[in-house]
Amino acid sequence: MVCTRLARGLVLGLFFCSGCAIAKTSVGSLASAIKAEPETSMMKPLTQKSGPDEIQAETLPEETAGPLPIPSLDEASVDETEPLESESLSDQPPGSVDQPDQEKIDNALELLHASGYFREQGDLDSAIEALDKAYAKLLEVVEQGDPELVQQKEDLRFTISKRVIEAYASRFRTANGLQTAIPISMNRHVQRAIDLFTGKQKDFFLQAYRRSGIYRPAILEALKEAGLPEELSWLPLIESGFKVKAFSRARALGLWQFIASTAYKFGLKRDRWVDERMDPEKSTDAAIAYLKELHRMFGDWTTALAGYNCGEWAVLKRIRAQKINYLDNFWDLYERLPQETAFYVPSFLAVLHIVNDPKAHGLELPPLDEPAETETVMLSRAVSLKDMAKLIGVDRAVLADLNAALRRGVTPPDRPYELTVPSGKGEILLSKLHDIPAWRNPVPSYSIHRVRKGDTLSEIAARYRASMETIKTVNGLRGDLLAAGARLKIPTAAKAGEAPLETSSIQSEGLKGKVLTYEVKRGDSLWKIAQKYGTSANLIISLNHLRNTTLTLGQIIKVPAWSSKSPLTKTATCRVRRGDSPYLIARRYHMDLSELLSLNKLTPRSRIYPGQELLIRAE
């Protein structure tokens, strides 16, 4: 018996975990009890007429008993004993769920799961009988206006009715020898998708069809092994066009278009070195696991495919919003799905129609690309694809396509990696692998600056000897405003064609001349202090053994006077205006251009920007 508290939550989430309401052993025991129970009279089952003759549940043959006696259905699943006095209904708080009715719902839930067990075993008659018993048990529930009980009953009745339809559909397919488990419907929605694939999107369809030859044979084998319909092998055509590196606006990636969270749920690894969403074999295994879960959840493939596209929660929300007791087919749900998902299933069905009979739709399908013949080798260190491709004599693009999951074009340095190479190249690679130097992570061509309160883009650009436009481009900035705490990538001076200000080179100059003391004031920064005293921020850091550029109000620091033949110049600051140039500023403040450039560590080719502060000689 499922405990009452657990059942209350699980009925509402029934679609999401078909096997978590009762343990497998409980399902098996209950299933055995159903099969062992003799036919008894019961109220009219849920199933109705299908054609001229009414479908009747067949009498099950007696099964031989197992090692232990199996109780009857009543003994195994329904507790008929009276509640203890301390547990009587009069002692329950007002509004609590009526206990006998809750037990009936619990029992119906167990029968529902038993029907799933029978269906997995291929015993459709027993599955239908279990569903009939579950529905009969549900009809005994008197709701009495309790909203929680009403909701549980509605959810369970909806699920049972849907499972009955699905079970009869399965028996019909078996009886008529149909191999497909996906009904290939034709209606105006599917026809519209066919018109699109044979019209505006004809080139996309034909190119995707051609690429399918590379991946579809392996997908078919995996589907066959998993017992899923082979039609699902065409799903990547509408997901990604059979491109392993396809990336959507929703940040879904790969043949099967997994988002990161779903990929993680189904065991696909994603780190700085690999993203297995782009691995055809591993992503196919994950997609099969997801499709199986969705099919168990919804009971039919069209609804399961809708869940694959927009997520099971979105589909269930639409199902629950429908004010009906039965979901006879997917098209009842169609109009309530998100627009993209609503067109997703018709698009998939359109693909099946076209590939099954291309001439009927005016298409001549191109020859398929053939899958490459490959082998794998195990590597235990970081090696770049570029170096390996050159070593074994293949194009780098070929090796990159065979190992699309490698994000950086290099094998992981922290673990063994199984590399795919063209057939016959594995032994060559291993024999010459020692000739390839170990890959080293390149030194970034930029440094990181954390924006402090009061920083301006022009000050940061001048400090790092980079242009404002370059900093804006590298960081994707649209304007000059900066947020305190933001991290900016600053291109190195070497990349900009100038020598960077390295601490080691500055220290080699020595700390010649006077060393002053300075008390930090509000709004000060190392850059402003260095400008004021004609020195550099790096020298101040070196002299004061500072670990970072952060200063505190009232802090006393030593300020070196820059080594110079002339005494330290007393300076003031000015702010650059629009249209200014070093020459105009020098002329405005009655200075030589060379003096202005020297005070600000500028060259005749340096650029200045509106808002930038420059040192000038004080009068």
Q: Which residues are catalytic?
A: 239
Euclidean distance between CA atoms 327 and 307, whole angstroms: 15
Q: What are the two backbone dihedrals, phi and then psi, of residue 308, each rounded to the nearest 5 degrees? A: -65, -35
CA distances in angstroms from 332 to 96, 303, 327, 335, 350, listed in the order given: 35, 11, 7, 7, 19
Query: What tokens appear for 546 in the block?
Result: 């500072």
Nearest to 409 by CA among 390, 435, 428, 431: 390
Give the Cα separation of 585 and 357 in Å (integer): 79
For residues 307 and 294, give the distance between their C-alpha atoms in angstroms, rounded to a whole number: 7
Asked if 134 and 160 count as a contact pair (C-beta separation under 8 A), the reply is yes
Residues near 23 by beta carbon (within 8 Å), at least 6 away in sequence: none
First to last CA, the chain: 95
Give φ, ψ of 29 to 5 degrees. Answer: -65, -45
Bridge-based pairing state of the strands 613-617 and 571-575: antiparallel
Residue type, 165: I
Give the pair of three-digit tokens for residue 21. 């309401």
User: CA dihedral in degrees (103, 106, 108, 110; nearest 10)?
Assistant: -130
Q: What angle do CA 570, 595, 556 make, to 5 degrees?
A: 35
What is the separation of C-alpha 127 from the centre of its chain, rounded to a whole number of angstroms?
36
Q: What is the DSSP letter of 92?
A: S
Give the whole-angstrom CA distance, residue 25 versus residue 460: 68
Query: Cβ–Cβ contacts within 10 Å for residue 593, how many?
Result: 16
Counting Cβ atoms within 10 Å, is residue 9 exposed (0-12), middle (13-18) or buried (19+)? exposed
Distances (CA, A) of 609 to 99, 192, 227, 466: 78, 58, 68, 12
Pairwise CA distance, residues 252 & 107, whole Å: 41
